[in-house]
Amino acid sequence: MSESDDSMSEIDAQEQNHSNGVGGGIPDYIMNLDNIPAKLPTHLELHKTRVICNIDAPQHTDPINYSGAYAALGVDNSVRLDNFCQNFKVEVKRFTDEDIEFDMIGIDPAIANAFRRILIAEVPTMAIERVYIANNTSLIQDEVLAHRLGLIPINADPKLFEYPDNAGGENNEKNTIVFKLHVHCVKGQPRITVKSDALKWLPNGSELIADDTKPNAESKPKTFTSFRDNHDSKKKFAKNPPAPKNLDIILAKLGPGQEIELEAHAVKGIGKTHAKWSPVATAWYRMLPEVVLMEDVVDEMAEELVSKCPAKVFDIEDIGEGRRRARVVNARACTLCRECIREKESEDGADKKEKESEDGADKAIVIKKKEWEDLISLRRVKDHFIFTIESTGAISPDVLFTEAVKILEDKCERVITELS
């Protein structure tokens, strides 16, 4: 008892120091008055930090950003950087080669959403952009085939390449990866399936002759790329040569006698230009659900509650004397389907009319309806984001997130330099 008292008074002392020190524009004598609240009243705090999901609609959905929102109460709503740094937390929940799930705690939706948008649209990757078809006698049309090729995730680090516009329209080893695909189904043999593993990397660039004119005897014939002798880049890729990330993507099927011969050029780009450059399958976040039982839910009610929750949020615990009580065990799994607070539908129209005549029974139903909504409070925590990134596989998901954050930093830097 005494311990808790001590800690309480300590906190009080700290708060006073805090308000004295950081009071800023507010004169100290005002901050020293007894009736200046250091914290928001609980109901306002609840509205500020939680979305409350009622049966009809969610309430208090908007974040309260304005620094002076609670100025009348003497509460400073501004977020100082050191405050943010103290409160911000990241917890990784799941991490594989292809996806990551982590909790971001203490961040505003504006910024979490910026990260998500950047992940989808602005983190660069490599994708096939130009396809030179030398021969295609298969059933699949040239343009459809080219589109399919474009969507293949390419396993190559985009940091090693430049954007094609930087080279002034020249396709060289710094901005282009060239793949060759040449498959042929021999007559008399069964049909074959062309998969993405048929794409072979050409480290020396294009092999197709670009001009119809006869090449000079001395100079090499002009191709679609102008690769210089690139020992460096070959060394760079010795361990990990550029290739499709998944080798079992079906591209086409060939009947006997059919053939595809083409060259595919992959370049660097961003998802804003075309979704094929998007490095993620999806990136999304959701706010942490919070389920609070406002009163004890016992016995039959408890069992009903457990059985009607599709996400298995509740469990039953024994409280002795043969009684059971519902307990929230897995609020994180809650999808906020609101099934647990839904009013009963068992009475259809005709039934209802009958019931209305019997006054007593109707009242009982009304009470029941009210009860569930009052017993359970479904909320979402406004500054707790469960962030999931599903990578296409070319770049590891943790690298993707760091890249996204860097891109937002670069944007800030650009604006700062433009303003000064």
Task: Give just the sign of the alpha carbon dihedral 133, 394, 251, 257.
Answer: positive
* Residues 5-24 interacting with other proteins (rule: CB under 8 A): 24
Q: Is 273 in the site for other proteins (CB under 8 A)?
A: no
What is the amino acid identity at position 356? Answer: E
Report the SS3 class of residue 208.
Answer: coil
Q: Please say whether the beta carbons of 125 and 269 come within 8 A.
A: yes
Q: Is 400 in the site for other proteins (CB under 8 A)?
A: no
DSSP annotation of 198 reads G
* Residues 301-340 interacting with other proteins (rule: CB under 8 A): none
Among 1, 85, 238, 367, binds other proteins (CB under 8 A): 85
Dihedral over alpha carbons 200, 201, 204, 206 (to 10 degrees): 60
Q: Is 415 in the site for other proteins (CB under 8 A)?
A: yes
Among 36, 98, 99, 108, binds other proteins (CB under 8 A): 108
Q: Is 117 in the site for other proteins (CB under 8 A)?
A: yes
Question: What does R_g of the chain's alpha carbons equal in angstroms?
Answer: 32
Q: Is 72 in the site for other proteins (CB under 8 A)?
A: no
Burial of 171: CB neighbours in 10 Å, binned 0-12, 13-18, 19+: buried
Q: Is 27 in the site for other proteins (CB under 8 A)?
A: no
Q: Is 91 in the site for other proteins (CB under 8 A)?
A: yes
The smaller minimum CB distance to other proteins, of residues 48 and 253, is found at 48
Question: Following DSSP, what letter does each residue of 146-165 receive, concatenated?
Answer: HHHHHTSPEES-GGGS--GG
Cα–Cα distance between 88 and 33 in angstroms, integer?
Answer: 31
Q: Is 41 in the site for other proteins (CB under 8 A)?
A: no
What is the amino acid identity at position 138? Answer: S
Among 52, 73, 301, 408, binds other proteins (CB under 8 A): 408
Rounded to a whole number of angstroms, the minimum distance from the CB of residue 252 to other proteins is 36
Total interface residues for other proteins by CB under 8 A: 47
The smaller minimum CB distance to other proteins, of residues 114 and 249, is found at 114
Among 110, 217, 238, 367, binds other proteins (CB under 8 A): 110
Among 20, 65, 141, 273, binds other proteins (CB under 8 A): 65
Among 10, 30, 41, 88, binds other proteins (CB under 8 A): 88
Burial of 352: CB neighbours in 10 Å, binned 0-12, 13-18, 19+: exposed
Q: Please say whether the beta carbons of 292 and 302 come within 8 A.
A: no
The smaller minimum CB distance to other proteins, of residues 134 and 408, is found at 408
Rounded to a whole number of angstroms, the minimum distance from the CB of residue 415 to other proteins is 5
Among 107, 185, 264, 283, binds other proteins (CB under 8 A): 107
* Strand ranges inside 62-212, DSSP E: 89-95, 99-105, 125-136, 154-155, 177-184, 192-195, 200-202
Cα–Cα distance between 319 and 337 in angstroms, integer?
Answer: 28
Q: Is 282 in the site for other proteins (CB under 8 A)?
A: no
Binding site for other proteins (CB under 8 A): 24-25, 65-68, 76-79, 81, 84-85, 88-92, 95, 100, 102, 104, 107-108, 110-111, 113-114, 117-118, 121-122, 398, 401-402, 405-406, 408-409, 411-413, 415-416, 418-420
